[in-house]
């Protein structure tokens, strides 16, 4: 078997390095997405508790672990005015459809 040339070794090394950098970029992007989502969800913590765990005995419901479809349907009902609220109709209007979907998925995944 012929020995790899210096150019072949260099090219192989460059490809491995670029693959590592791409992998690190993807991981960093995922971390940023998680942080962005947690920042969105932090708005909910004031009333619904940290990570969706409302204080027991309070009037507001726990969001953690509720079905994703249910959470999203309630958020959309607040936004449209179909479901009456003191402040949720204003809060939901500040989020995009994509953000509301992400929040519903986030809280549904929590235990």
Q: How many angstroms separate the CA atoms of 41 and 73, rounded?
A: 17
Number of structural domains (the chain) is 1
Residues of 61-85 as b/e, b for ≥16 C-beta within 10 angstroms?
ebbbebeeeebbebbbbbbeeeeee
Residue 66 domain-assigned? yes
Cβ–Cβ < 8 Å for 102, 40: yes
Residue 26 domain-assigned? no
Residue-level pLDDT at 12:
64
Residue 100 domain-assigned? yes
Q: Which domain holds residue 50?
A: 34-109
Per-residue pLDDT tens listing for the chain (111 residues): 667 677 776 666 665 666 666 665 556 667 788 888 888 888 898 889 888 888 887 768 899 999 999 999 999 999 999 999 989 999 999 999 999 999 999 999 998
């Amino acid at each position: 078997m012929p020995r790899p040339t210096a150019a072949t070794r260099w090219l192989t090394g460059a490809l491995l390095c670029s693959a590592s950098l791409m992998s690190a970029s993807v991981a960093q992007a995922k971390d940023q997405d998680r942080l962005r989502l947690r920042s969105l969800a932090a708005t909910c913590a004031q009333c619904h508790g940290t990570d969706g765990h409302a204080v027991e005995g309070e009037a507001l419901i726990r969001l953690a672990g509720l079905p994703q479809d249910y959470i999203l349907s309630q958020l959309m009902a607040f936004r449209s005015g179909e479901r009456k609220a003191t402040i949720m109709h204003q809060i939901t209007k500040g989020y995009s459809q994509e953000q509301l979907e992400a929040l519903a998925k986030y809280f549904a995944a929590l235990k």
